[in-house]
Structure 1
């Protein structure tokens, strides 16, 4: 945790990444070990299939109708299927053949006798998870619980009750030898240690009092350094008045859940403190996941339902029950993406999701937001199927302006197509993603462009990008003249491709094309004649003109 601006604290501190390597013989976790770690609140054994002593590998989320990937020793999370459905039974058989050790289902009150029989026949462990458990949350829990520890003392924090973050903070502080805080990715202090023999400095005192890390110019860079590193990062104090610090990110898979900060010189921390801190980060993962799920279980369930709906992995009627809205409710999806140099997308998305939620709930009380891979998706129920675009655009523009003003963060906002019912929400999400790709592409090419757009405003480029994604502009599909023109430009520094594209986009008007390229019209006509002669291109053939223009335009779009 870092401090408020002051003459001393504004001096950049020295930063060192402390390497932590697991021993080569780090033990793998068994299925029984995972179940014991998580407890019955997460996993319940219906039949173990004799697999409890077996080591387990990756966790795979599997939706109905999806191909089942091979996963030696894997754990399969069977989403979207009633456990008694024939398809679920066949999936269990397929999981056994593909090498899985266990299959996890939700019972929803159904009798699992037949599924249990199949699991016993195929020697696969059949587990259930509570109906209200979010699948992605369970995925993160299992992934965290089966990671091997870096040191031999793997149980140093095992006695702490899951979710008791202040007791965990004191346990970590006692083990590492210095006062610690546990923070979320935005710097909010979640818990802190309070051991009498460990001193703190003014920076730590202000953070505890304000429940938020005090602001200072180097905060962003230092938090980024921690979140990018897999090992603890050491920050040497620029002044005796302030303590030196070491920090490590707490992760569930690739998702940053928070950070642990330890004061390293009041008193000095124990030898090989970086190993203790690495153990502490793994233990803290389970606690933060549990705390996040308990903070607002109803919102957590709705958020997970939205995530599955956006992916098309849940039936609309089932999603409607969990979201608390009718299946035929019109809606639209927005995607909000942080942009800029040195922006860590996952951290930035976690910073803005609460603000996005506030804005969207002002639009409609049933609106809901979720973060995914560094962006924020918002589902906005509408009053009618043709919700007026100006109102949506105004909401998105105001949201982007507020994020920039309050969070000093630029965002792009893509507005998807209007979904007539929840069944159409995945298509609205896909369209929002395509709009975002258009805005991102324009920004990367330094083209003047708005930061907010709807499908209607960029529909032409959306169509072109869709065609490009289908392979119309891959090297193997290029027309001979197009390939030859590009190669000639590359070798000789000519601009035939750009000249031809501009000419075709001007419908063969040499004067207009010359003005666009800022050259003389006779030069334009000369270039076109040369292109036709050198590259065997006929501009009298309408189909060839269309195909040539399309490929040149797509290449400009994706280059």
Structure 2
């Protein structure tokens, strides 16, 4: 694999997670391992290393830059935007910056993974797992499979001549262990054991197994399973235990790769939704085919939190739940949390696919509501022709969220088009001189000064289609009361309710000042 460069590193990370503040030697500088700065230890002579300035304020990083340059490092990473650019130029070392609130452990994970992916594509943890399965199978003497904690088969051996049974064949075909009560009991026994375990055959069509749990730091990462046809090697148990140690490292690396892919996908989606990325490039990196394929943006928000820490924590949990459901439906997928809203990009290969978006959003709202123990709302924007217009679908989704309530927690923009149109009109007319003053403002001012209720009466009458009985019913008063109030409004405020244009403007002003809906008027005088 070619040695990655700073340019490769920034390309993999998308240009916003890590930014180049200074690069006196250019971005073609080769990079190697990523190191955390330890103030109590001397910097090692590590050519090409990327040093994270842990515990060092960006503005005070000048001495560290010179020390890193003397140690032949490629770059120093600081938090914040006020890094010492001039010091970096003088030292001849690249200066990179991350956000002020970025966690160093996460920056280390992203840069380490990106450094491995930058030179020649992402490192293949999957390929290494298949090689490991073959190595274990050869050492132990039986066909081997590597599984994750959900009993999905991640890799399997292909050593010629080894015995297999029906369960192995079916598992490899579907990359999933066949579900059965007997299987579940064996997994419980295996995960409770602290060493390789011999398990009996489930039935007459299958063979016994030798299995071991793969763990790291007490966390279960998966398991290794070997078909035991009675001819396993004498040291099979020890060989399998050693294989589990190697599998743990590979599974951890695979997880780091997945975290990197999710981070990059989320960052890329954020730029798609802002309209600041080339749609064809984004489509390719998001695995969505052509940049002109139809897509829809869905927006999800929790509706039952108030304090800032709770809002942030709940939004992050909601992001995980949305991502899990979308990945189960679409495979590789992009979700992102922005301004407290979880956005998901939903592909739609034709109307049949698009029609399933509401069903998916409803399922997410139901499951997330149960998991979070609070209401969740979902607004779906319009189906648009490609990523270039995803920003429009996002705008729709944001407006739909403002139209939702407990009775309607999920809606497409078409479901609430009238309310969305009013919201758009309210945004367009806000602050415009033509929409200030006029008959509606005079009506409100008269009510405020004289304690009358003419504006609500006019509003109810317009809402009832200019039907006096309907207006009276809305107001819970006698129709003659309505007639009196309207007559007084005409005389005292100067309303011309016979003019259709004036009625239209009054109606629009009333609706726009009320937001997405007009509350039912209360009984009054």
Q: CA offsets, 1:81-132, max 9 Å, x none?
A: xxxxxxxxxxxxxxxxxxx968x9xxxxxxxxxxxxxxx9xx9x99686xxx
- Between the aligned partners of 2:292 and 2:438, the Cα distance in structure 1 is 50
- Between the aligned partners of 2:80 and 2:219, the Cα distance in structure 1 is 40
Matched residue of 2:483: which SS? Answer: helix
2:293 aligned to which of 307, 317, 329: 329
Highest CA radius of gyration, 1 or 2?
2
Cα offset, 1:428, TM superposition: 0.8
| Number of residue pairs aligned between Structure 1 and Structure 2 | 315
Name the structure 1 match of 2:348.
Answer: 382
Q: CA offsets, 1:336-384, max 9 Å, x none?
A: 0011143532211111212111211233224321111212101111121
Gap runs ≥5 in structure 1: 1-25, 47-51, 60-73, 76-99, 105-119, 130-137, 146-156, 165-207, 212-290
- Structure 1's 36 and 489: CA in aligned 2 closer, same or farther, altered over 3 A? farther
2:380 aligned to which of 415, 424, 431: 415
Name the structure 2 match of 1:304.
Answer: 267
Does the 8 Å contact 1:345/1:373 carry over to 2? no
Does the 8 Å contact 1:45/1:128 carry over to 2? yes
Residue 428, structure 1, aligned to residue 393, structure 2: yes
Does the 8 Å contact 2:57/2:79 carry over to 1? no
- Structure 1's 328 and 474: CA in aligned 2 closer, same or farther, altered over 3 A? closer
Name the structure 2 match of 1:286.
Answer: none
- Structure 1's 472 and 508: CA in aligned 2 closer, same or farther, altered over 3 A? farther
- Structure 1's 45 and 487: CA in aligned 2 closer, same or farther, altered over 3 A? same
Name the structure 2 match of 1:545.
Answer: 503
1:29 aligned to which of 48, 59, 62: 59
- Between the aligned partners of 2:325 and 2:273, the Cα distance in structure 1 is 20
Does the 8 Å contact 1:479/1:548 carry over to 2? no
Cα offset, 1:297, TM superposition: 1.9
TM-score (normalizing by structure 2): 0.52
Name the structure 1 match of 2:494.
Answer: 536
Cα offset, 1:453, TM superposition: 1.0
Gap runs ≥5 in structure 2: 1-55, 111-216, 221-253, 519-525
2:322 aligned to which of 345, 356, 367: 356
Cα offset, 1:27, TM superposition: 7.5
Aligned alpha-carbon RMSD (Å): 4.2
Does the 8 Å contact 1:293/1:300 carry over to 2? no
- Between the aligned partners of 2:295 and 2:377, the Cα distance in structure 1 is 20
Name the structure 1 match of 2:366.
Answer: 401
Does the 8 Å contact 1:385/1:418 carry over to 2? no
Does the 8 Å contact 1:346/1:373 carry over to 2? no
Cα offset, 1:477, TM superposition: 3.3
- Between the aligned partners of 1:162 and 1:38, the Cα distance in structure 2 is 17
TM-score (normalizing by structure 1): 0.49
Q: CA offsets, 1:26-72, max 9 Å, x none?
A: 987246468689999xx9679xxxxx9xxx9964xxxxxxxxxxxxx
- Between the aligned partners of 1:454 and 1:362, the Cα distance in structure 2 is 22
Does the 8 Å contact 2:446/2:493 carry over to 1? no
Cα offset, 1:436, TM superposition: 0.8
Residue 485, structure 1, aligned to residue 443, structure 2: yes
Residue 316, structure 1, aligned to residue 279, structure 2: yes
